[in-house]
Amino acid sequence: MEYSKYMNSSIQSVSPSGIRKFFDIANEMQDVISLSIGEPDFQTPWHIRDEGIRSLEKGKTWYSPNRGFADLLKEITAYYQRRFGITYSPTTQTLVTVGGSEAIDLCFRTLIERGDEVIIPQPSFVCYEPLTVMAGGVPVIINTKNEDNFRLKADDLRAAITDRTKLLVLPFPNNPTGAIMEKHDLEEIAKVCIEKDILVLSDEIYSELTYGDRDHVSIASVDGMYERTVVINGFSKSYAMTGWRLGYALGPAEIIAQMTKLHQYGIMSAPTTAQYAAIEALKNGDRDVNRMRDEYDMRRRLVVDSFNDMGLSCFEPLGAFYVFPCIKSTGLSSDEFCTRLIMEKHVAVVPGTAFGACGDGFVRVSYSYSLKHLKIALQRIREFLEELKNGN
């Protein structure tokens, strides 16, 4: 059968993720040191796991309410108040989802009408573009630049806006660059959004992972933005809870109500066990977050320092757990660099192009690995560069 004629053309037009290629090569090899994984290497802290187990022991195995358990909704809003100074109603402005990813999808599908333009700064996480297309929207890409520390600039935003622009995706702290947006950066962006009447999806999944005394600032806390921002966050990165699949959306009650409707029909409710664990995470998990952040911070400094020392210039990433060194000095493209690195030295990193065409000349290196692992990998990359230089 000719299946392609039966299947939706939008989904068929979406290309597979570019991160995957190198992972497949790595899987075939022995002795591969990977720096390509985008999830915490820590296990979920024990007291959080224990609460999940306890809920199962008590037989709490039913669906949760569509929006999520009331206690969890309350803890989420208390957390946003406490950490970022933003007030949301737990009953009308909060929705618990299956990971942050579901919340992103719901938000797109709720806001986008066919032909609406969605502005996506790149390099960024691979899901925004395909999910925009699937929702009937038209992705409009803004290339953030190394010289701007990969922050989104208001002028670039202004230049990208047309009459069809509906939504701006704001993915900071950023995967893959590790860039953050500080308050003054956000204020400039806010001015444009308000003036041009566009909404913002603020993906804050890495909000707990910012370094150097800079706390994450949400654009929803900037004057005039609360009413036009949907905040996406979750438990995966901050509490090392990726496998539990739990995220949430916060925003204007009208938008959250429509997203909830979609969630209700498509998913029904987020995993029950994960929600019990997440309540414990928000209540008693601050120490774990700080401990993991401190550990990431040490690794981050070591990796940035090593790359600069090897001669691959690397701007200082202030968020997430990635560094994004520039490899242009090697004369190789991102793809060539990654292919040769894995073939010759068995080290897997991800080409910057996986996160947008403007990522060429860069590679994403995850430091979500033990220091011991990082040291071995960095040594191999150093050897690789030396051999390149000597023309081997």
Partner 1 sequence: MDKLLQLLSKNSQFTTGEIAAMLGEPEDYIKAQIKEYENQGIIKGYQAVVNWERIDGSYVEALIELKVTPKKETGFDEMAQMCMAFEEVESVYLMAGVYDFALIVRGETMQDIAMFIAKKLSTIDGVISTGTHFIMRRYKDRGMNVFDDDAQADERSLIL
CA angle 153, 154, 157 (to 5 degrees): 90
* Interface pick for partner 1 out of 19, 48, 95, 106 (rule CB under 8 A): 19
Q: Residue 319's closest CA among 187, 190, 212, 186?
A: 212
Q: How many CB atoms lie within 10 A of CB 167?
A: 23
R_g (Cα) of the chain, nearest Å: 21
Q: In the complex, what is the shortest distance from the CB of residue 347 to partner 1, in angstroms, rounded to a whole number?
A: 14
Return the bridge partners of 140, or none. Answer: 119
| Contact code string over 39-58 relative to partner 1, x by CB under 8 A | x-x-----------------
Q: How many CB atoms lie within 10 A of CB 274?
A: 24
User: What's the CA gap between 237 and 208, in Å, rounded?
Assistant: 8
Using the rule CB under 8 A, is 195 a contact of partner 1? Answer: no
Q: Residue 108's closest CA among 127, 125, 88?
A: 127
Minimum CB distance to partner 1 smaller for 56 or for 371 = 371
Tell me: cis bond preceding 45? Omega within 30 of 0 counts.
no
| Contact code string over 224-263 relative to partner 1, x by CB under 8 A | ----------------------------------------
* Interface pick for partner 1 out of 49, 301, 328, 380 (rule CB under 8 A): 301
Minimum CB distance to partner 1 smaller for 226 or for 321 = 321
Minimum CB distance to partner 1 smaller for 83 or for 373 = 373
* Interface pick for partner 1 out of 10, 12, 20, 85 (rule CB under 8 A): 20
| Contact code string over 337-376 relative to partner 1, x by CB under 8 A | ----------------------------------xx--x-
155, with CB counted inside 10 A (0-12, 13-18, 19+), is exposed
Minimum CB distance to partner 1 smaller for 191 or for 375 = 375
φ, ψ of residue 247 to 5 degrees: the values are -140, -175
Size of the site for partner 1 (CB under 8 A): 24
> In the range 122-151, which residues lie near partner 1 by CB under 8 A?
125-127
* 328, two tokens: 């242009």
The span of 35-43, 115-123, 141-149, 182-190 binding partner 1 (CB under 8 A) equals 35-43
Using the rule CB under 8 A, is 306 a contact of partner 1? Answer: yes
CA angle 317, 105, 223 (to 5 degrees): 60
Q: In the complex, what is the shortest distance from the CB of residue 126 to partner 1, in angstroms, rounded to a whole number?
A: 5
- For residue 239, the one-letter residue type is Y
Q: How many CB atoms lie within 10 A of CB 8?
A: 9
Minimum CB distance to partner 1 smaller for 198 or for 246 = 246
- For residue 198, the one-letter residue type is I
Binding site for partner 1 (CB under 8 A): 17, 19-20, 23, 34, 36-39, 41, 125-127, 294, 298-299, 301-302, 304-306, 371-372, 375
